[in-house]
């Protein structure tokens, strides 16, 4: 397969053909009338439309030219580029199959009403925009946006503005269009990328589910190769990841419960598509959250032009999400939230966590009781679907494709009764470490913080501090104690070596008598 790489090279060329306006069909008709060795010249703001038309109809062998000042034209070479062995390319082709780029309005799965009004809100917010500006802000192809502009012009909502320095046509709202945009903003204040329809979101979410992949001991060991966990703990955690039921992790504070949960994505790995927003009955719910959804590393390296060969840009290629909520969790955070001031809807935690991990930490410390919380999850846990509602009262169904974990410092029997505990499936207790594992973590932390520590000093920590004060070996202690030691070294300008004196200071600064 190939992507189309458009590279600019200065060149003087007579105008064999100029595509200045018209729909996709007009573009194709004009292209196909030429011979394969002919050239096409077009306005710069039409590059997206022409590129999409060429890709869509598999037309090959043309040189494209952008209309320049005077009689000069800026050549845009059209070169099919074999990227079949490229890691980035393969990723694009993979997700292109899951979410192909819509080239026509009907391909978006959205109503003309929603998209035209969304475009009007962009123009109301930003003032004057080119076709390319609108396409980028709405995450739609130039062909789709051009169709929306034509519809709005027929209704006299949009008018042409003066061309910019690059001779690109710009558009602004008419007085009638301004009134229409203001009316729509009072109903729905969302101004951003076009949403994806709920049906498409459900289909893609199910395709990306990690439930179909069964974890084995080798995968778990490789994923945690840089982390230190006991073999016994891995034997407990591993099978639970293949279960469809949630996991309850319990144990004393500092035993590594939250640490392990936050690293479980190392096991599942991979990237997933996250929508900017979803559409439900012409209402838009924001889903993408930059604090939760971190862009794929491959996406950040991407340097090819995104045309029809790319995936639908209404989706963001991101790492599998890990959503963590602790004592601040309330029942309202598990429902669609409508902001009456901005007139926008925001997705609940479980919707943002789909295709990833949802960790409810410090269970029993929330304002919502564990029993109320488990009651809220009964249907989603058993049927792998959740039911939400809009402000209007409309109820709708979303997939519940995530790994749900509960973590607590309390005894499970103090939280809920036996009937609820049975629904959880796996209850895994975290305990203190052996001396051998504690030593391994200690010296890893020393390396991380560029500290030297003799075995004699470590033995002093064990025999004269831990044992004397009857402190168990918890995995959080090495990191916390070495950080305090490092602070002392920096402040007093000492050598990067841990001494008994530094350890004594760190110990008594860390623990309360």
Exposure of 119 in the CB half-sphere (CA atoms within 13 A) = 32
C-alpha to C-alpha distance for 168 and 18, rounded to whole angstroms: 15
Are the beta carbons of 473 and 254 closer than 8 angstroms?
no
Local confidence band at 46 (pLDDT 50, 70, 90 cut-offs): low
Query: What pLDDT is attached to residue 493?
Result: 93
Q: State phi, psi for 13 to the nearest 5 degrees.
A: -150, 140
Same fold, 111-193 and 210-430: no
Residue 382 or 384, more confident: 384
CATH of 435-510, one of 3.40.50, 3.40.1350, 3.40.1130, 1.10.8: 1.10.8
For 284-302, the pLDDT digits (tens) are 999 999 999 998 876 544 4
Distance CA(346)–CA(352), nearest Å, equals: 10
Nearest CA to 430 out of 364, 481, 474, 374 is that of 474
User: What gap in Å lies between CA 124 and CA 139, rounded to an integer?
Assistant: 17
Q: What is the pLDDT of residue 51?
A: 58
106-165 pLDDT per residue, tens: 999 999 999 999 999 999 999 999 998 999 999 998 889 999 999 999 999 999 877 666
pLDDT recorded at residue 76: 40
DSSP-derived secondary structure letter, 44: G
Average pLDDT in the chain: 80
pLDDT of residue 456 exceeding 90, the answer is: yes
Q: Which residue did the predictor score with more confidence, 188 or 167? A: 188
CATH number listed for the domain at residues 111-193: 1.10.10.10
Structure pTM?
A: 0.76
Q: Which pair of tokens denotes residue 418?
A: 């036996």
| Gap between the Cα atoms of 443 and 459, Å rounded | 12
End-to-end CA distance of the chain: 68
Determine the pLDDT at residue 424.
78
Question: Any bridge partners for residue 80, and if so which?
Answer: 4
Give CA separation, 362 vs 365, 376, 411, in Å: 6, 17, 12
**Pairing mode, strands 63-67 and 18-19:** unpaired
pLDDT digits (tens, 9 = 90+) for 460-489: 999 999 999 999 999 999 999 999 999 999
Task: Please state which architecture CATH assigns to domain 210-430.
Answer: 3-Layer(aba) Sandwich (3.40)
Phi/psi for 351 (5° steps) reads: -70, -40
Predicted local confidence at residue 505, as pLDDT: 94
Domain-by-domain residue ranges, the chain? 2-82, 111-193, 210-430, 435-510
CB atoms near residue 123 (< 10 Å): 25
Q: Is 500 exposed, middle or buried (0-12, 13-18, 19+ CB in 10 A)?
A: middle
Q: Which residue is associated with the tokens 């500290």?
A: 451
């Amino acid at each position: 397969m190939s992507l189309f790489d458009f590279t600019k090279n200065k060149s003087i060329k007579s105008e064999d053909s100029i595509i200045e306006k018209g729909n996709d069909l007009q573009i194709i008709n004009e292209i196909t009338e030429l011979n394969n060795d002919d050239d096409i010249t077009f306005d710069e703001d039409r590059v997206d439309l022409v590129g999409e038309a060429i890709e869509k109809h598999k037309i090959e062998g043309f040189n494209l030219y952008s209309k320049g000042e005077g009689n000069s034209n800026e050549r845009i070479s059209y070169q099919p580029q074999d990227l079949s062995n490229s890691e980035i390319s393969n990723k694009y082709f993979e997700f292109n199959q899951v979410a192909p780029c819509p080239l026509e309005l009907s391909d978006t799965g959205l109503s003309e009403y929603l998209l035209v009004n969304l475009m009007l809100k962009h123009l109301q917010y930003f003032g004057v925009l080119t076709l390319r500006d609108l396409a980028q802000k709405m995450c739609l192809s130039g062909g789709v946006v051009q169709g929306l502009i034509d519809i709005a012009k027929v209704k006299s909502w949009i008018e042409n503005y003066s061309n910019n320095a690059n001779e690109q046509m710009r558009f602004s709202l008419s007085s009638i269009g301004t009134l229409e945009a203001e009316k729509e903003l009072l109903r729905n204040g969302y101004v951003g990328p076009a949403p994806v329809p709920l049906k498409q979101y459900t289909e893609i979410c199910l395709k990306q589910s990690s439930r179909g992949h069964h974890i084995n001991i080798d995968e778990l060991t490789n994923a945690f190769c840089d982390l230190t966990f006991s073999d016994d703990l891995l034997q407990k955690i591993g099978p639970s990841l293949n279960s469809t039921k949630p996991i309850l992790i319990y144990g004393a504070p500092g035993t590594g419960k939250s640490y392990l949960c936050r690293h479980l994505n190392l096991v599942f790995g991979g990237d997933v598509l996250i929508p900017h927003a979803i559409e439900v009955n012409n209402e838009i719910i924001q889903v993408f959250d930059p604090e939760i959804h971190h862009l794929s590393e491959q996406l950040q390296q991407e340097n090819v032009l995104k045309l029809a060969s790319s995936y639908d840009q209404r989706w963001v290629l991101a790492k599998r999400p890990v959503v963590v909520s602790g004592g601040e969790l309330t029942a309202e955070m598990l429902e669609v939230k409508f902001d009456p001031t901005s007139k926008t809807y925001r997705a609940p935690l479980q919707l943002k966590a789909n295709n990833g991990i949802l960790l409810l930490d410090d269970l029993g410390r929330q304002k919502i009781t564990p029993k109320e919380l488990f009651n809220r999850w009964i249907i989603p846990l058993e049927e792998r679907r959740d039911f939400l509602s809009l402000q209007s009262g409309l109820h709708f169904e979303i997939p519940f494709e995530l790994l749900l974990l509960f973590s607590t410092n309390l005894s499970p029997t103090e939280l809920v009764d036996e009937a609820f505990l049975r629904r959880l499936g796996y209850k895994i207790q975290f305990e203190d470490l052996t001396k051998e594992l504690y030593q391994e973590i200690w010296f890893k932390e020393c390396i991380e913080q560029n500290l030297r520590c003799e075995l004699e000093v470590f033995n002093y920590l064990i025999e004269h501090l831990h044992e004397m004060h009857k402190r168990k070996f918890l995995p959080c202690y090495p990191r916390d104690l070495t950080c305090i030691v490092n602070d002392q070294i920096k402040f007093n300008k000492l050598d990067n070596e841990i001494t008994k004196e530094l350890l004594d200071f760190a110990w008594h600064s860390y623990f309360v008598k």
